[in-house]
Amino acid sequence: MTDVYPGGWSETEPATEEIQRICDEVKGQVEERTNTKYGIFRALQYRSQVVEGTNYLIKIHAGGFTYLHVMVFEALPCDGGKKLVTGVQQGHTRQDDLKPF
């Protein structure tokens, strides 16, 4: 296991039910940013970074050969816990590594 330093990104992990819930919650924001409606929106992998809240970098299968890398910031509960999409990269493959952008 690699040491994670404060503010550093975790290793890539398989997506959990919680990560899928985050994806479901921000799907509309992603569709707005990409000007595309997605029938499939399934989280595959993720990385996280604890800051004053949590940043998530999530690989999402959006149907066919469409894979997205999506950055989401989740505010602390004391700050409302809101989730905000801060970045979307299109044109990825299933094999592409999750790299912060």
Rounded to two decimals, the pTM is: 0.90
Confirm whether 73 is domain-assigned. Answer: yes
Token pair 């469409």: residue = 66
* Distance from the Cα of residue 75 to its chain's centroid: 14
**For the chain, how many residues are written?**
101
CATH number (domain holding residue 66): 3.10.450.10
Q: Exposed, middle or buried: residue 47 (CB in 10 Å: 0-12, 13-18, 19+)?
A: buried
**Rounded to whole angstroms, how far apart are CA atoms 52 and 65?**
35
Domain that holds residue 34: 13-92
| Domain count for the chain | 1
Each residue's pLDDT expressed in tens, for the chain with a length of 101 residues: 445 566 799 999 999 999 999 999 999 999 999 999 999 999 999 999 999 999 999 999 999 999 999 999 999 999 999 999 999 999 999 999 999 99
